[in-house]
Amino acid sequence: MSRFATDEIPEQLYNDFIIGLLEGTIGKYRKEMAEKFKEIAIDLKTEEISSTDLLRKMYQLSIVYKNLIEKKKMQTKKNNQNSCMLN
């Protein structure tokens, strides 16, 4: 933890802030994934999409999913660190 965080902000407030940022980012990625799924479903339903466009959209979806998984891992790691500190 940085010197600023320990000197100026109570540790619990700092930890709550970081957890809030992670949860907000995770929510953003979930929303973005839902939008991309919907876009792909509409394209498939109307059959007005080329294979390359579909692949491009699926690739974009996989990038968002990867980011979501990374943030979830960070959140889990942060939660585990907090519970270790309590013990």
Helix segments in 9-87, DSSP class H: 11-46, 51-86
User: Is 86 among the domain residues?
Assistant: no
* Residues whose CB is less than 8 angstroms from the CB of residue 18 and which lie 6 or more positions away in sequence, other chains included: 78
User: Is 63 among the domain residues?
Assistant: yes
pTM over 0.85: no
Write down the pLDDT at residue 85: 55
> Which structure tokens are listed for 34?
């839902």
pLDDT averages per 10-residue partition of the chain, 87 residues: 59 73 78 83 79 82 85 76 58
Q: How many separate domains does the chain show?
A: 1
User: Is 84 among the domain residues?
Assistant: no
Range of the domain at 58: 3-79
User: Is 30 among the domain residues?
Assistant: yes
User: Is 26 among the domain residues?
Assistant: yes
Q: How far apart are CA 33 and CA 83, in angstroms?
A: 30
* Residues whose CB is less than 8 angstroms from the CB of residue 52 and which lie 6 or more positions away in sequence, other chains included: none
